[in-house]
C-alpha cells in the first residue's frame, strides 16, 4: 500500500499511476539481485522518451545538494543542457558496469549512434550495509536487462532495482515514485518524480508535518548495532521528468527544488549523504544531439517554453512529488536481512498511523 492508500494527507493532484511514468514516453525498468545471504542490489533504468526515441535529446539540468556521491555525465549536461540515452541508478561500486551496459545496449539497438560517442548518466547510492558491495555482482548484462525491462504504466516500489539494498531514515528504503498534474491555462502537464531513497537519520523522520522519528527510535540496528553507520549517511538520487516545454535552465531550477521535498520528510542533509538530482523535459525535440557531427547546411532549433514567471506551479509539483515518492518508498519496503546477518526493519505502519492520528 502506498501513502495515499493509508490515508496520508498529501497535497497536489497525482496522475493516473501517481508515478514518473505518467509523463508521456517515460519508461522504468528494473533488475533486482537477491542471492544467498549477501547480495542485495540491482539496477534501475529510466528512459526519458521510451525505447524508440532514446537518442532524441531532452532539455535537462542537474543539481547537487551534497556531493558525496556520483552521477556521471553531468559535465556535458552543464555544457549543453541536453540529455539523451537511458538513465541508470545502481549501487556505488557498480557505476562502471552500468555505464558499460548502457553502451552495450545502445550498440545493439542503434549501432550508428554508438559509433559516434556516448556519455551515459549513471547515478548511485551506497548499499554496503546489506549488500556485498565490493563483489562483482552487478554486471553490464544486468544493466541491459533493466533497460530491456523498461515499461510505461505502474511502477513497483520499495526493495527493487537499484533500491534493493537501500535504507531510509534507518528503515528499509529503496525505490519510490509520484507525480503531479499541473494546469497551465488550457493545457495540462505532468511532473513526475523517481527517488532512490537511502538517506536520513531515524530521529529526523517527519511524515505529513508530524515529527515521528523520536517516537520510532527503537529497533534501529543501523545506528545502534555492532556495525553502525553515521546517522544520516547513505545518499539519495532523484530524477524529475515533465512534458512541459522548459529550457535547460528551468530544468535545473526544478532539480534545485528537490531538497525542499526531501526536507518535508525531515532530513537536514548529512555530510555523508550524496544528494544529486536530475531533471529533464520532453516538451521539445531538438537537433541538439551531443554526439552528432553536423552535416549539410546549418539550420536552427526552435524552443517553445513556459515563461520564467509562470514556473512556480511546476516547482510546487516537484516539492510535493518528492515528499510523496520518499514516503511511497518507505511504505512499500519490507524488512530485509543481508550480509553478516544485518537487518533493516520496515517502517512500522500501524505505529506510524497511530502517531499521525
Beta bridge partners of 193: 178, 240
In order of 57, 81, 156, 279, the CA distances from 217 in angstroms are 46, 43, 28, 34
**Could you give the CA distance from residue 351 to residue 348 in angstroms, rounded to a whole number?**
6
Is the separation of the CB atoms in 66 and 273 below 8 Å?
Answer: yes
In angstroms, what CA-CA distances link 257 with 63, 321, 347?
9, 11, 26
Q: How far apart are alpha carbons 318 and 258 in whole angstroms?
A: 6
DSSP one-letter code for 244: S
DSSP 17-82: SSSGGGSTT-EEEEEEEEETTTEEEEEEEEETTTTTTTTS-EEEEEEEEEESS-BTTHHHHHHH-E
Residue 167 vs residues 44, 95, 136, 344: alpha-carbon distances, Å: 16, 19, 21, 7
Residues marked as catalytic: 235, 273, 275
Between CA 225 and CA 120 the distance in angstroms is 38
Sign of the dihedral defined by the CA atoms of residues 142, 345, 1, 195, in that order: negative
Q: Residue 245 in contact with residue 306, Cβ under 8 Å?
A: yes
DSSP string, 273-321: EEEEEEEEE-S---S--TTPPP-SS----------GGG-HHHHHHHHHH
Amino acid at each position: 500500500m502506498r501513502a495515499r492508500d493509508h490515508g496520508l494527507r498529501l497535497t497536489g493532484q497525482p496522475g493516473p499511476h501517481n508515478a514518473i511514468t505518467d509523463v508521456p514516453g517515460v519508461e522504468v525498468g528494473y533488475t533486482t539481485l537477491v542471492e544467498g545471504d549477501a547480495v542485495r542490489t540491482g539496477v534501475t533504468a529510466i528512459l526519458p522518451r521510451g525505447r524508440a526515441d532514446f537518442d532524441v535529446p531532452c532539455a535537462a539540468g542537474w543539481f547537487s545538494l551534497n556531493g558525496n556521491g556520483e552521477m556521471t555525465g553531468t559535465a556535458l549536461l552543464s555544457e549543453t543542457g541536453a540529455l539523451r540515452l537511458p538513465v541508470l541508478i545502481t549501487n556505488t561500486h557498480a557505476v562502471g558496469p552500468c555505464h558499460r551496459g548502457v553502451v552495450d545496449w545502445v550498440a545493439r539497438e542503434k549501432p550508428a549512434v554508438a559509433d559516434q560517442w556516448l556519455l551515459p548518466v549513471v547515478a548511485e547510492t551506497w548499499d554496503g550495509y546489506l549488500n556485498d558491495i565490493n563483489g562483482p555482482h552487478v554486471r553490464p548484462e544486468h544493466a541491459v536487462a533493466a533497460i530491456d525491462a523498461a515499461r510505461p504504466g505502474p511502477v513497483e516500489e520499495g526493495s527493487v532495482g537499484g533500491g534493493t539494498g537501500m535504507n531510509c531514515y534507518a528503515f528499509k528504503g529503496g525505490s519510490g515514485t509520484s507525480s503531479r498534474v499541473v494546469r497551465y491555462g488550457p493545457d495540462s502537464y505532468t511532473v513526475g518524480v523517481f527517488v532512490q531513497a537511502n538517506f536520513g537519520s531515524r530521529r529526523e523522520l517527519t511524515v505529513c508535518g508530524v515529527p515521528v522519528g523520536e517516537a520510532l527510535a527503537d529497533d534501529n540496528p543501523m545506528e545502534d548495532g555492532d556495525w553502525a553507520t553515521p546517522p544520516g549517511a547513505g545518499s539519495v538520487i532523484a530524477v524529475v521528468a515533465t512534458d512541459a516545454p522548459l529550457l535547460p535552465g528551468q530544468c535545473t531550477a526544478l532539480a534545485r527544488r528537490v531538497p525542499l521535498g526531501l526536507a518535508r520528510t525531515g532530513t537536514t542533509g548529512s555530510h555523508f549523504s550524496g544528494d544529486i538530482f536530475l531533471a529533464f523535459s520532453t516538451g521539445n525535440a531538438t537537433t541538439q544531439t551531443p554526439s552528432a557531427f553536423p552535416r549539410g547546411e546549418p539550420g536552427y532549433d526552435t524552443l517553445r517554453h513556459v515563461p520564467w514567471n509562470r514556473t512556480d506551479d511546476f516547482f510546487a509539483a516537484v516539492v510535493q512529488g518528492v515528499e510523496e515518492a520518499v514516503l511511497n518508498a518507505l511504505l512499500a519496503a519490507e524488512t530485509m536481512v543481508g550480509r553478516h546477518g544485518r537487518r533493516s526493519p520496515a517502517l512500522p505502519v500501524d505505529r506510524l498511523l497511530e502517531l499521525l492520528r
